[in-house]
Amino acid sequence: MKIAFVTDDGKTIAQHFGRALGFVIFEIKEKQVIKKEFKENRFTGHARGLEGDHNADHHGPVINALKDCDVVISRGMGNRIFNDLINNGIKPYITDVDDIDEALKLFLSDKLVEVKDFHCKK
């Protein structure tokens, strides 16, 4: 299993999926971390400067960059990316926990609380 955390600093979970500076990705086997990597965000529409261009493919590149992840954990994201992740077999998970290590520990023990309706409205 691979879990991606949306982040600006590699330590805390960012509040906005599209504007985050990157993703900390953990590969998990038997509830243990076997690999950790950082992917710089060069994929979202915000990162590529496409905020005003509604005809551009905003989510295709980020979906492709995270296609091997099973779960993406953020503190907020828009409804379109939330649904696009689901439609591509990636579980979006919104939490109010801001520490990545704490959230990972809680997630792996099935204790991370999923916040409903905590999406950006844009």
Return per-residue pLDDT of the chain as tens, 122 residues: 999 999 999 999 999 888 889 999 999 999 999 999 999 988 766 655 556 544 445 677 889 999 999 999 999 988 888 999 999 999 999 999 999 999 999 999 999 999 986 555 44
Query: Which residues make beta-bridge pairs with 4?
Result: 25, 72
pLDDT at 121: 43
pLDDT at 37: 97
pLDDT at 39: 94
| Domain residue ranges in the chain | 2-108
Determine phi and psi for 111, rounding to 5 degrees: -120, 5
This model's pTM is above 0.85: yes
The topology (CATH level 3) of 2-108 is Nucleotidyltransferase; domain 5 (3.30.420)
How far is the CA of 66 from the CAs of 10, 61, 73, in angstroms? 17, 9, 12
Question: What's the longest Cα–Cα distance across the chain?
Answer: 43
The token duo for 59 is 């989510």
pLDDT at 103: 98
